[in-house]
């Protein structure tokens, strides 16, 4: 198969823009991101995301995937939604990361990236959105799309930090971009705001996934460690704290892709109502939503924690019903914890008489009594 002809950087950017994307290029050779990634894995900071440990060199050398790769094209698309509406009342309500308020970006962005990849006239081009062996953030920084901020996310002076990322491996040769310099300066807003210290002032530019609220509420499948539960607040899927405070978001323009617009059902959702969702409601309401990744039991686990942190004892009856009737032990156990957090006569009485055949749930009941 013949080698595609070279393409100028300007031609590449124009083709990407036709598909609603920002694009830049880095050479296929690994840079500093390779050793950094290996150290991160060796330190166990990927938590239970074991797939990152499989053949890690593939993640920073695209030629191990497409051996004739000439260019790694990084693409970005903003999902900045602007100010979100305030809650309509003072009922306990959940917080959801902005990227998950609309349709699942994996499908939406992949449609755009695939169409863009086809425009490169390279039959072997490989488009990826979070699914391939590519370190998207450091690669996007090398491609001149921004820089990795102290919170480890990509930041752009023109587009802020609410950015979806993708990549295309191609045999077309394009001149690599000049990487951006770091423009975080002395700002430490993202480090200061992280409640679990997954990112820390003494270790900027490093993320410990084991402590990250986004990891805990999405990727972590089992019980959330008790010492971390109070720090999660009312986040029930992901977390935007470190992104919200980034001063470069004042330059971001509201998203134009309609499929990223927030669904009304996910804006300030009532935690008590969510706790009552059965499987049918979960599946119907969250069709094509990123929230399905947690499965029902994971989402309701998060909802129970949020109710415990919200501090409103009006939620005690809903938590008692959950403790008594919920089929998932993971949810019952966290409901017991929430009752212990809220306290009061009804919660204390329910915990005093509760017995559960599941060892994890009974352990949570006993701990909540204490």
pLDDT value at 40 more than 70: no
% of the chain beyond a pLDDT of 70? 95
Mean pLDDT on 170-195: 94
Q: Is the distance from CB of 259 to CB of 75 less than 8 angstroms?
A: no
Helix axes 345-353, 316-325, angle to 10 degrees: 10
What does the mean pLDDT of the chain come to?
92
- For the chain, the domains span 9-170, 270-370
pLDDT value at 247 more than 80: yes
**Of the candidate ranges 43-52, 112-121, 254-263, the one whose mean pLDDT is the lowest:** 43-52
**Of the candidate ranges 60-74, 198-212, 216-230, the one whose mean pLDDT is the lowest:** 60-74
Beta bridge partners of 24: 74
Closest C-alpha among 356, 238, 368 to residue 316? 368
Give the per-residue pLDDT at 184: 96
**Of the candidate ranges 1-5, 100-104, 196-200, the one whose mean pLDDT is the lowest:** 1-5
Mean pLDDT on 330-353: 97
pLDDT value at 33 more than 80: no
Fold of 270-370: 1.25.10
Mean pLDDT on 68-85: 92
Higher pLDDT, 346 or 52: 346
Spatial distance between the Cα atoms of 44 and 346, rounded to a whole number of angstroms? 42
Which helix (H) or strand (E) element contains residue 368? Answer: helix 359-369
pLDDT value at 170 more than 90: yes
Q: How confident is the model at residue 206 (pLDDT cuts 50, 70, 90)?
A: very high
Give the per-residue pLDDT at 15: 95
Mean pLDDT on 265-291: 97
Give the per-residue pLDDT at 53: 65
Spatial distance between the Cα atoms of 11 and 198, rounded to a whole number of angstroms? 40
Q: How confident is the model at residue 2 (pLDDT cuts 50, 70, 90)?
A: low
Q: Is the distance from CB of 305 to CB of 337 less than 8 angstroms?
A: yes
Q: How confident is the model at residue 329 (pLDDT cuts 50, 70, 90)?
A: very high
| Residues with catalytic roles | 130
Closest C-alpha among 212, 221, 220, 226 to residue 97? 212
Q: What is the DSSP letter of 87?
A: P
Beta bridge partners of 200: 203
Higher pLDDT, 8 or 45: 8
Residue 259: both structure tokens together: 């499929």
pLDDT value at 311 more than 60: yes
Give the per-residue pLDDT at 188: 97
pLDDT value at 43 more than 80: no
Q: How confident is the model at residue 186 (pLDDT cuts 50, 70, 90)?
A: very high
Give the per-residue pLDDT at 135: 85
Give the per-residue pLDDT at 131: 77
* pLDDT tens sequence across 90-145: 999 999 999 999 999 999 999 999 999 999 999 999 999 987 777 889 999 999 99
Q: How confident is the model at residue 251 (pLDDT cuts 50, 70, 90)?
A: confident
Beta bridge partners of 72: 26, 169
């Amino acid at each position: 198969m013949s080698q595609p002809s070279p393409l100028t950087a300007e031609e590449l950017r124009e083709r990407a823009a036709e598909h609603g994307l920002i694009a830049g290029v880095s050479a296929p050779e690994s840079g500093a991101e390779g050793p950094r990634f290996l150290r991160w894995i060796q330190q166990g900071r990927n938590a239970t995301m074991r797939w990152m440990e499989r053949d890690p060199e593939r993640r920073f050398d695209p030629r191990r995937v497409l051996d004739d790769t000439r260019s790694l094209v990084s693409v970005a698309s903003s999902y900045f939604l602007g100010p979100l509406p305030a809650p309509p009342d003072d009922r306990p309500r959940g917080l959801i990361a902005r990227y998950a308020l609309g349709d699942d970006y994996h499908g939406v962005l992949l449609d755009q990236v695939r169409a863009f990849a086809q425009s490169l006239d390279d039959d072997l081009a490989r488009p990826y959105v979070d699914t391939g062996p590519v370190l998207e953030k450091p690669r996007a920084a090398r491609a001149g799309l921004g820089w990795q901020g102290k919170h480890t996310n990509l930041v752009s002076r023109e587009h802020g930090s609410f950015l979806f990322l993708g990549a295309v491996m191609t045999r077309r040769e394009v001149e690599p971009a000049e990487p951006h310099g770091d423009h975080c300066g002395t700002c430490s807003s993202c480090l200061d705001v992280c409640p679990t210290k997954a990112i820390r002032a003494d270790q900027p530019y490093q993320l410990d996934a084991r402590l990250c609220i986004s990891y805990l509420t999405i990727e972590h499948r089992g019980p959330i460690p008790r010492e971390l539960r109070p720090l999660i607040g009312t986040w029930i899927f992901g977390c935007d704290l470190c992104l919200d405070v980034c001063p470069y978001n004042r330059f971001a323009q509201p998203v134009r892709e309609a499929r990223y617009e927030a669904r009304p059902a996910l804006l300030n959702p009532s935690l008590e109502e969510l706790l009552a969702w059965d499987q049918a409601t979960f599946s119907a309401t969250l069709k094509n939503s990123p929230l399905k990744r947690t499965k029902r039991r994971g989402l309701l686990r998060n909802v129970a924690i949020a109710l415990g942190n919200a501090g409103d004892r009006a939620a005690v009856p809903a938590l008692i019903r959950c403790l008594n009737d919920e089929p998932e032990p993971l949810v019952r156990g966290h409901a017991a914890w929430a009752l212990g957090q809220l306290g009061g006569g009804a919660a204390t009485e329910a915990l005093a008489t509760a017995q559960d055949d599941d060892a994890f749930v009974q352990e949570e009941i006993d701990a909540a009594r204490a």
